[in-house]
Amino acid sequence: MDDLRDKYLNAIAAAEDEAALEELRVQALGKKGEISLKMRELGKMTQDERKEAGPKLNALKDEINAALAAKREALADAALDERLRAEWLDVTLPGRPRPSGSIHPVSQVTEEVTAIFADMGFSVAEGPQVESDWHNFDALNIPGHHPARAEMDTFYMHRADGDDRPPHVLRTHTSPVQIRAMELAGAPLRVICPGRVYRADYDQTHTPMFHQVEGLAIDRDISMANLKWCLEEFVKAFFEVDDVELRFRASHFPFTEPSAEVDIRCSWQGGTLKVGEGDDWLEILGSGMVHPKVLMAGNIDPAYWQGFAFGLGIDRIAMLKYGIPDLRAFFDSDLRWLRHYGFSALDVPTLRAGLSR
């Protein structure tokens, strides 16, 4: 039995694959295997001989089975190691090319604007795109005879005959969100309201649906000086320039008093806009101090609180910053245009790392 043990343990240790291992198992433990034949001979032995040979044969059989199992596991581990070596990937290789998908300029610029005003303490407020006539016009001190309320400028929702509910419109600006924010949070308040708006207009610089962001700040002692500083800081951060000059021109908006259009000093050299230098002026937004009637519509007492508001077109400032010539291209779903003007999904704008990288 010692000879059998040495023979098969050495042969199992030298086996190079599963086939050789299986062949050894059959030779030793199969029906006609050497150890199996030895076990059959137990019946021909005397009782004393069986007591001595039986345990030894069983121990040998168990040892051979254990050696086979261990070798089989070792062969499996070796095969796995070989497979891992063959399928190994060097993660230090250069990354894959940029995927074909990209972030739309409107989405990117919205994130840029949000990052800038968040640094000034403004939170983001949102509201419905289908607005009541009251929130869209009346609460903002826009009288019934105002041209903006005409059907040639505003999309009114259809009402069935006999429907006496107040009319609803596709909002013409995001100012209704300011009313809702005042109703919800009261004063003091500091919010920006980005989102889609709708007007019945369509040409190279106007589309029926476009994007706006409006800002509102309400506190005890807010003045036009605070508004001027806020807008200067925004323009410097957005266009990434160190200095900027703003010009406030008297204007009229029903929801602010006094009201002002805001221009920035710029130059157009070779068709490229440069902000903060030159002899040209470019209008970018409207602004003013919130009208007392608007504060009252938002359940805020104008005797104790005052504030400023401003609004600008996201599509327009995206065109100015990134040199996009036609507003209509924003909504054409042209993949070539999106690949050219789109942004990588990893280019998340932050003031620390930069807005447009």
Backbone angles phi, psi at 348, to 5 degrees: -80, 120
CATH entry, 105-341, from 1.10.599.10, 3.40.50.2300, 3.40.50.300, 3.30.930.10? 3.30.930.10
pLDDT number for residue 139: 92
**283 bridge partner residues:** 263
Residue with tokens 């990354």: 95
Cis peptide upstream of residue 128 (ω within 30 degrees of 0): no
Which strand (E) or helix (H) includes residue 126?
none
pLDDT number for residue 227: 94
pLDDT along the chain (357 residues), means of 10: 78 83 81 77 76 79 84 86 80 68 88 92 93 91 82 81 79 93 92 92 76 94 93 91 90 92 86 80 92 94 94 90 83 84 77 65
Crossing angle of the two packed helices 18-29 and 47-86, in degrees rounded to 10: 170
Residue with tokens 């949070």: 185
Asked whether the beta carbons of 324 and 314 are under 8 A apart, the reply is no
Q: What is the C-alpha separation between 177 and 274, in angstroms, rounded?
A: 33
Contacts of 63 by beta carbon, 8 Å cutoff, 6+ apart: 5, 9
pTM strictly above 0.85: no
Domain edges within the chain: 2-86, 105-341
Q: What is the C-alpha separation between 78 and 65, in angstroms, rounded?
A: 20
pLDDT number for residue 310: 95
pLDDT digits (tens, 9 = 90+) for 234-264: 999 998 888 888 999 999 999 999 999 999 9
